[in-house]
Amino acid sequence: MRDPNCIFCKIAAGDVSSEIVHQDDDVVAFKDANPRAPLHVLVIPREHIASLVEAREPRLVGLLALAAARVARDAGYGRQGFRVVANSGPDAGQSVPHLHFHVLAGRPFAWPPG
């Protein structure tokens, strides 16, 4: 299902332009408009799911995780390392209510996160 008011649904449908780095029947990966690292890609399901806490389909969550790893590997960060983040809800700072995995690479990341 698509939410006509959702910016990420519009990106997945091609109605809003973005720099897509990978897409298939289930997932779309595109560059974040406000990059926080040399590589910053968002991996989303085509289906509108508000956040990780709303996800019910293990296969789809697995596809998102594998796509995130593929994006990092294809960008050359498989060995150096990368971070995958899914902000869920207000305390985590989720600003777009369509499930997305951030894929960040190209610099060291602090732990614990801020």
Using the minimum distance from each CB to ligand DGP, give the nearer residue, 79 or 111: 111
Interaction between residue 17 and ligand DGP (CB under 6 A): no
Output the smallest distance, CB 11 to ligand DGP, in A: 6
Binder of ligand DGP out of 39, 94, 101, 103 (CB under 6 A): 94
| The three-state (H, E, C) secondary structure of the chain, written as one string | CCCCCCHHHHHHHCCCCCCEEEECCCEEEEECCCCCCCEEEEEEECCCCCCHHHCCCHHHHHHHHHHHHHHHHHCCCCCCCEEEECCCCHHHCCCCCCCCEEEEECCCCCCCCC
Binding site for ligand DGP (CB under 6 A): 7, 18, 30-34, 42, 87, 93-96
